[in-house]
Amino acid sequence: MSLKGARERRVRTGGIELCVAELGDPGRPTVVLVHGYPDSKEVWSQVAVQLAERRGFHVVLYDVRGHGRSTAPRPLRGGFTLAKLTDDFLAVADAVSPDRPVHLVGHDWGSVQSWEFVTVARTRGRIASFTSMSGPSLDHFGHWIDARVKRPTPRRVGQLLGQGAKSWYVYLLHTPALPELAWRGPLGRQWPKLLQRAEKLPAGDYPTSSLPSDAAHGAWLYRDNVRARLRRPRPDAYSHVPVQLITPQGDAFLSERLYDDLERWAPRLTRRTLPAKHWIPRSRPDQLVSWIDEFVTGVEKGRTATAPDVRHTDRFHGQLVLVTGAGSGIGRATALRFAQSGARVVAVDRDSGSAARTAESAVLAGAPAAWAETVDVADEQAMEKLAERVHREHGVVDVLVNNAGIGLSGSFFTTTSADWRRVLDVNLWGVIHGCRLFGARMLERGQGGHIVNIASAAAYQPSRALPAYGTSKAAVLMLSESLRAELASRDIGVTAICPGFIDTGITSAARFTGVDEDEERRLRERAAMLYGKRNYPPEKVAEAILDAVVHDRAVVPVTPEARSMHLLSRFAPRVLRRIARVQPRL
């Protein structure tokens, strides 16, 4: 995706010319995108086009002085100070939106300089909001360092050393002539491939051919500002606009700890996190567009409050989460927990009334939107139609939870072929259908995602009473491990959740083979009573699911007995085999 069709103009300021591109209706709210180092404005191409064409904003991008098609100051030394970069921004803002404040979005050095814009007095009234990603204020950074040097603790010293190691490139950029020689030579030629491999970016040409000169000129951004500002950070660097902070959790250059005290400097702060690396304008454009749209629209409507202080809101707010078997038990608890974190929820169940009730409760719990869908996960054609409908109406699912399942207990020899087919159709094939249909769209989008498959402690704990159920869950566990290996290079995580005895409604609908109806009814009631006495609620499983997605865990046993059996399966399997011989008494 390129900026083809954008309207270009030249803006003169301080003896240089800035190349400015515009998309969308100038009568709509203006969003100004500021690029980082060593990029040009084209790094924003996917974000800009979506904000203009799909979200209806007036989008403005400009090449920072000395980058892209903007001219460079002469001499270079002293030509890239934050004061001069602020002059450039005000010239652009006055040219593209003279009568209304603009919404500012910055990445990397675009964010560093934008922090200057939103904390100096002369820009007051020209900026409506600021979305920052992967670039701290140098003033805030200076105070952060100061606090750790003057009031050291083991934890603070560790943070300081950790960020010091991440900042290795800053030291190199201060060396005379060497960065320019490298960028105009082998580094400039190899950078697109290095970046593609390191950041897992889609294949293709680097957004701009001016990279060598952009990077050489941009070294002065560091030389003109970093040391001077870190030594003498401004004491009054408070933001005069609402701020949205988007933090990629895998950023190789910046520690998340840099932003621990940011509420001090930006009281109207909304936090977001992404499981991604540094270059999120290229790797996660869809999610950025969604968050920028929501934040800017909220500010335009006078809603400047920060996001609710609910655990994981920063990670899941606005994301699309689909949960199967969401009508009750673990599925319902999981759907509601994601809703509390601000996710949009698709509640899927074979019982339409149960699905509808979960969707209604999800909205009350905090979901921006929730929808109910009715489907039998064992029905491949129905699942294909569901996937197509969800993709068409709501977009690509960010988190998929394959939870739907049924219980079956009884001897192997009293379990009929029909029993085997039904439990495998739901417990295994339902998971396969979900992974294949929704996972394929995640893969096609190329912007990451996560798949959660609900297995069971029975997946690794053999039992003479659960041959079919245990087999189905063991298959789900192996499927999850194998799929995780395949999708790892595409930033799509896969987790197998293995609960133990959870107080859900699965026992009330479980089948018991080899007994008559009366005995089966008694066994169900007895199992339900025992699970109730165990009193381990599905809400705890739901919390484990969200934690597993946030931390990208592979296998998560839930409940003490599940964790104990998992350890035995690894270190004392013979003990598990002996336990498996015990006939459960119901």
At 349 the three-state DSSP class reads strand
Mean pLDDT confidence for 98-125: 97
* 10-34 residue pLDDT tens: 999 999 999 999 999 999 999 999 9
Whole-Å CA distances, 375 to 313, 381, 387: 29, 10, 11
Buried b (16+ CB within 10 A) or exposed e, 243-276: bbbbbbeebebbbebbbeebeebbebbbbbbbbb
What is the residue-averaged pLDDT of the chain? 92
What is the per-residue pLDDT for 507?
60
Backbone angles phi, psi at 185, to 5 degrees: -115, -125
Q: What is the pLDDT of residues 319-349, one digit of tens each?
A: 999 999 999 999 999 999 999 999 999 999 9
Q: What is the pLDDT of residue 529?
A: 62
Mean pLDDT of 530-541: 76
In percent, the amount of the chain with pLDDT more than 70 equals 93
**Residues 117-127: what's their mean pLDDT?**
97
**DSSP 8-state code for residue 328:** S
Q: For helices 211-231 and 109-117, what crossing angle results, to 10°?
A: 50
- Amino acid identity of residue 104, one-letter, is L
The tokens 């064992």 sit on which residue? 378
Using an 8 Å Cβ cutoff, are 133 and 246 in contact? yes
Q: How far is CA 41 from CA 3, 36, 114, 194, 336, in A?
A: 9, 9, 15, 20, 40
Confidence of residue 4 (pLDDT cuts 50, 70, 90): confident
For helices 138-150 and 211-231, what crossing angle results, to 10°?
Answer: 50
Indicate which residues carry an active-site annotation: 469
pLDDT at 472 over 90: yes
Confidence at 580, pLDDT banded by 50, 70, 90: confident
Where residue 527 falls among pLDDT bands split at 50, 70, 90?
Answer: low
Of 212-216, 300-304, 519-523, minimum mean pLDDT range: 519-523
pTM of the model: 0.87
- Residue 76's pLDDT is 96
Residue of 410, 411, 412, 425 lying closest to 527 (CA atoms): 410
What pLDDT was estimated at residue 505?
Answer: 61
- In whole angstroms, what is the distance from residue 445 CA to residue 94 CA? 37
- pLDDT tier, 581 (very low <50, low <70, confident <90, very high otherwise): confident
Position 532 scores a pLDDT of 61
Per-residue pLDDT tens digits for 143-195 = 999 999 999 999 999 999 999 999 999 999 999 999 999 999 999 999 988 99
pLDDT at 89: 98
Specify the pLDDT at position 203. 67
CATH of the structural domain 315-406+419-499+539-580, one choice from 2.60.98.20, 3.60.110.10, 3.40.930.10, 3.40.50.720: 3.40.50.720
Q: Which residue has the higher pLDDT, 365 or 513?
A: 365
Q: 430 or 500: which carries more pLDDT confidence? A: 430
CA distances from residue 197 to 132, 194, 215, 277, 440 in whole angstroms, order as listed? 25, 5, 19, 12, 22
Task: Give the residue-averaged pLDDT of 72-99.
Answer: 97
Q: What is the pLDDT of residue 96?
A: 97
Phi first, then psi: what are they for 543, rounded to 5°? Answer: -65, -40
pLDDT band at 361 (very low <50, low <70, confident <90, very high): very high
In angstroms, what CA-CA distances link 311 with 134, 539, 546, 557?
A: 22, 14, 10, 21
Rounded Cα gap, residues 220 and 91, in angstroms = 21
Q: What is the mean pLDDT of residues 372-400?
A: 97
Quote the pLDDT of residue 283: 93
- What CATH code would you report for 7-300? 3.40.50.1820
**pLDDT of 68 strictly over 90:** yes
Q: pLDDT tens across 201-211, in order?
A: 876 666 778 99
Question: Could you state, in order of their start, the residue ranges of all structural domains in the chain?
Answer: 7-300, 315-406+419-499+539-580
Q: In this predicted structure, what is the pLDDT of residue 306?
A: 52
> What pLDDT does residue 12 have?
96
